[in-house]
Structure 1
Amino acid sequence: MTAPALPAAFTPFAEPRRKVPARWITLFATAWLGIWMAQLTPIQLLLPKQIGELFTTTDWVSTVVAFGIISGIAGACALIVYPVTGALSDRTTSRFGRRRPWIFIGTLVFAISLFLLGIQTTIAGVGVFWSLALSGFCIVSAAITATISDQVPVNQRGFVSGWVSAPQAVGTVLGIVLVLTLVLSTFVGYALMAVLLIVLVMPFLLLIPDEVLPRVLRAPFTFGSLVRGFWINPIRFPDFGWTLLGRILVNLGNALGTTLLLYFLMYGLGRGKSAEDDLLLLTMIYLVFFIAAALGFGKLSDRIGQRKVFVYAAAYLQALAALLLAFVPALPVAMAAAGLLGLGYGCFMAVDQALATQVLPDSHSRGKDLGIMNIATAVPQAFAPLLGAFVVAALGGFTALFICSAIAAALGGLAILPIKGVR
């Protein structure tokens, strides 16, 4: 029996050439706003608050360690879920497309887990449902990130990737503002994030078409091939390896500098009564610089065809911000550091995402390979509270924490230099 014939004009996995319109970008950015708000508001505010309410000890270091352990367990789930989702979406032959079913599944898992997380009354329950929530985040973000490689041409990816990044800052601020200004309980805060996630992702899911993979082109699937696909030889594909390493280090540096920021304000600067308001102020400053850098530098990198110089400079701006916090621990300095961090990380998130799409080994496995790349974003953020808690408790408090943050970011910048296939 012969395989079904394909239309003569059908060119599967070809690099897209036609620029996506403003409508596509708007719906894409709206979806990311919901995704980031649902992930970062718990990390920055709801999860530490919930753990603090459940932890009866007055020892704040123990509370930080508990937060770190829960985040670390969730990060271990992300390590598996990201590439598995990418690999499965690469092989999905649904009539709705390859990515859309996984965007739907991830959104549903994420939203339900957040709702159930809000009613937990034990540390174990919080750990289980935050791990499920982060798994849902990984599923939806892996699938929607793959649409960049599927549908956006190379000379537009810096700008479009900026619309992955800009909603990250907006989502963090908007989520914190909603929870604090409405004086929401922990449960209502989680429930609101779940509802907004669904409302904001659905328009992209329902209105943006997704190319259907013909069954005849679906790659054979075995458990062994799935496991082997997780390993991409950095000697054979050095640009992919260096990009991945740089992304891990820069994101680790950023996460070490931000995930314990509420605790730094409360205990490092002694501003316990105003810590939540201070966090909102710093986040607002970060927001302005982050959005300007993500959209401005993303578009500029498209225009001049350069990626590496932007990523390198972004890493060192983040390192400088961390050193300011380490050696001059005061609120006005923290405000300046927030601006530098926003400028550096906004540039990094936009341009490095575009860079990552240009070093993928195989167009047939974009989803899986970008899933591996996405590990370098989510996992450092998940493990940073645990690592940061250890540094704070054992190696010299918040000064040591921010020095480690600066070192990681600086090494991440150096890792970009050997990349040869992208300018």
Structure 2
Amino acid sequence: MTMADEQATGAARRVTGRWVAAFAMAWLGIWMAQLGPIQLLLPAQIDEQLHPDHWIESVVAFGIVSGIAGLCSIVAYPLTGALSDRTRSRFGRRRPWIASGAVVFAIGLIVLGLQTDIIGIGIWWCVAIIGFCILGAAITATISDQVPVDQRGFVSGWISAPQAVGAILGIGLVLLLAADRFIGYSALAVLLLILVLPFLRLPDPLPPTSVVAPLSAKGLLESLWISPRKHPDFGWTMLSRVFVNFGNAFSTSLLFYFLLFGLGDKNAETDLLLVTIVYTVFVVLASLVLGRASDRSGRRKPFVVAAAASQAVAALLLAIWPSLPMGFVAAALIGLGYGCFMSVDQALATQVLPDPASHGKDLGIMNIAQAVPQAIAPLAGAFVVASVGGFAGLYVLSAVCAIAGALVVLNVKGVN
């Protein structure tokens, strides 16, 4: 373990099962509150307002709203991460931001459920995403604050495993409450607050020194730029994350439309749920098993490369042999790859941070590489399908992005 790793671990003691359970519960609430709207509520709400003549019009509108929210995340992630780095309160350093982020997120969702025009939908989805970023930046930083390096792959798996489960539970809850969109949004907001609460009851130790560097607008803006020349491992890790997340988003964000229009599947809604369940099972298994395997081996890059390759193979299978059975095979491979990537790459990211005193800000910047691809992929994917190569072209592009991510991460030198 390097000196930087030792500084980054926070407390040297391993985190307990109680800590991991509360961490996982919090992320389950976060992912339900984000993915429930993205997968079902938000597209349906936009479609209801537009009444489009063609599905691509709805996807484009959804992509624009998501893209604007993605721009908000570019600012919110590092800004609130930097502020939490400098927070010294009797409630801790990260806890005030976790709590306030959860409240902003919940309020954004509840008010979003009342909107009846596209502008209002866009504004309040941005508010919800800002809350998501505040909460996500602070709770992710607790990994670097409190989790030893040899536990980070396993703990990071409890970010990605709840993501997959949260997608299923969020969709299921929304379907149960489909008669009233407002109730659906409100239920997700309430569950978010309930599931985050146990983590807020855990200790949030302050760093050894209480000295905090002055924060100015100029200094903050300058700190948001992390030079890839001075910190090449951080730059390569972030670029790899951008590529792999684009690959995953291109494969998954238009899956419903692929089933309905690409395959002419008359049972697209039911089959989407079944495909998603297969994806979820493999994400959960890969996140927890391969994250722990990475910890035990002390290696990160081979797992990241294999994860990206698994997603590339799945995308190429869909491009070459598009069918429902192949959809299930691809879902398993994508889930296997993305689950492994999410847990191991998050652990890798915590080991390439430039400054032990700025974990929240630096991880906030790193998280942009996940948020932005997920936000703009539906719009970019719709353009590819409509203008370039249909769904086959979309999946070839997905494979290219995943392979690029695998090649880029090989340039990281400070982590095996």
Alignment of 1:143-158 (within 5 A): 143-158=138-153
Counterpart amino acid of residue 65 in structure 2: I
RMSD: 1.5
Q: 2:259 aligns with which of 236, 240, 265?
A: 265
Provide the C-alpha distance between the structure 2 equivalents of 1:175 and 1:216, rounded to a whole number of angstroms: 41
Corresponding residue number in structure 2 for 1:111:
106
Deviations 1:231-289 (A, max 9, x none): 11111111111000000110111111111222222222222x52221111111001111
Corresponding residue number in structure 2 for 1:293:
286
Provide the C-alpha distance between the structure 2 equivalents of 1:282 and 1:394, rounded to a whole number of angstroms: 27
Alignment of 1:15-54 (within 5 A): 15-54=10-49
Contact 1:96 1:212 (8 Å CA) reproduced: no
In structure 1, runs of 5+ residues without a counterpart are 1-10
Residue 102 of structure 1: CA displacement?
0.6
Q: 2:212 aligns with which of 212, 218, 229?
A: 218
Q: 2:158 aligns with which of 163, 170, 174?
A: 163
Counterpart amino acid of residue 106 in structure 2: A
Corresponding residue number in structure 2 for 1:240:
234
Contact 1:177 1:280 (8 Å CA) reproduced: no
Contact 2:10 2:207 (8 Å CA) reproduced: no
Residue 308, structure 1, aligned to residue 285, structure 2: no
Q: 1:101 aligns with which of 78, 89, 96?
A: 96
Residue 324, structure 1, aligned to residue 321, structure 2: no
Provide the C-alpha distance between the structure 2 equivalents of 1:70 and 1:277, rounded to a whole number of angstroms: 26
Contact 1:94 1:213 (8 Å CA) reproduced: no
Provide the C-alpha distance between the structure 2 equivalents of 1:107 and 1:300, rounded to a whole number of angstroms: 32
Contact 2:102 2:132 (8 Å CA) reproduced: yes
Q: 1:404 aligns with which of 389, 394, 397?
A: 397
Q: Secondary structure at the match of 2:368?
A: helix
Provide the C-alpha distance between the structure 1 equivalents of 2:300 and 2:73, rounded to a whole number of angstroms: 27
Alignment of 1:193-212 (within 5 A): 193-205=188-200, 207-212=201-206
Counterpart amino acid of residue 267 in structure 2: S
Provide the C-alpha distance between the structure 2 equivalents of 1:15 and 1:181, rounded to a whole number of angstroms: 43
Number of residue pairs matched by the alignment = 411
Provide the TM-score with structure 1 as the length reference. 0.94
Corresponding residue number in structure 1 for 2:244:
250
Deviations 1:157-182 (A, max 9, x none): 00000011100000001111222245
CA change 1:130–1:408 in 2 (3 A) is same
Q: Secondary structure at the match of 2:328?
A: helix
Contact 2:9 2:147 (8 Å CA) reproduced: no
Q: 2:268 aligns with which of 246, 263, 275?
A: 275
Residue 417, structure 1, aligned to residue 402, structure 2: no
Provide the C-alpha distance between the structure 2 equivalents of 1:311 and 1:352, rounded to a whole number of angstroms: 6
In structure 2, runs of 5+ residues without a counterpart are 1-5
Corresponding residue number in structure 1 for 2:51:
56
Provide the TM-score with structure 2 as the length reference. 0.96
Residue 25 of structure 1: CA displacement?
0.2
Provide the C-alpha distance between the structure 2 equivalents of 1:14 and 1:357, rounded to a whole number of angstroms: 9
Contact 1:109 1:133 (8 Å CA) reproduced: yes
Counterpart amino acid of residue 308 in structure 1: K
Identity of aligned residues (%): 62
Once structures 1 and 2 are overlaid, which stretch shifts more, 139-148 or 257-266? Answer: 257-266
Provide the C-alpha distance between the structure 2 equivalents of 1:287 and 1:12, rounded to a whole number of angstroms: 35
